[in-house]
Amino acid sequence: MLPEEKGGAYLRPGEGRSVWLVDDLVTVKLASEDTGGAYSLTEVRTQPGGGPPPHAHRNHDEAIYVLEGDVELLVGESSLPAGAGSCVYAARGTLHAWRNVGAAPSRVLTVITPGGLEGFFLEAGEPATEASSPPPGPPDIEKVMAVAAKYSVEIPPPPDQ
C-alpha cells in the first residue's frame, strides 16, 4: 500500500490479505476502506475441480474476470466455458459461481460493488500465505454458512439434496 496516503493504493505481486476459503486461495487486493467503500477487488486461485458453490449476493454486484486457466462460469441458469480474458457480470440476487475445469490452477479477479463483501472472505477463511496450502481436514462449512448469512450471501443446497 502507499504509506499513509489518501486516494490511492499500491500492492506488489503477492501482496494483499490472503485466506483459504475451503480449498480456494482468496487474496483481497483492495478492500472497501481502500476505495472509499466503492468496491473491493480480490484474486482467487482455484485448484482443478474447485471453485465456489453457486451463490447469490443480496447486496452486491460482482464482475468475474478470468486471468489464467479454464473455468466454467455459472450465471443464472447459463453455464459458460471461459478461458483467460473472459469476463462475466452477476447483478445482485443472481445465482453465480465458477468451477476450474482445467488441469492446472486457475486465477480469477473479482470486482464486487459496493465494497464490504471482502469481510466475508476474511472472516470465513483461514489465514494463508501465497506459498501455503489449505488447512488439513475438512472445511468448517457451518462457520462458512454462518458468516455467509451475516454478509447476505445466499448459498442454496445442491440440487440433489
The per-residue pLDDT of the chain, averaged, comes to 91
Tell me, yes or no, whether 107 lies in a domain.
Answer: yes
pLDDT of residue 4: 54
pTM to 2 decimal places: 0.90
**CATH code assigned at 79:** 2.60.120.10
CA separation for the pair 87, 149 (Å, rounded): 27
Residues of the chain with pLDDT > 70, as a percent, come to 94
- For residue 148, give the H/E element and its range: helix 141-150
Number of domains in the chain: 1
pLDDT of residue 105: 95
Tell me, yes or no, whether 157 lies in a domain.
Answer: no
Q: Which domain holds residue 47?
A: 17-127+140-152
pLDDT (tens digit per residue) in 61-112: 999 999 999 999 999 999 999 999 999 999 999 999 999 999 999 999 999 9
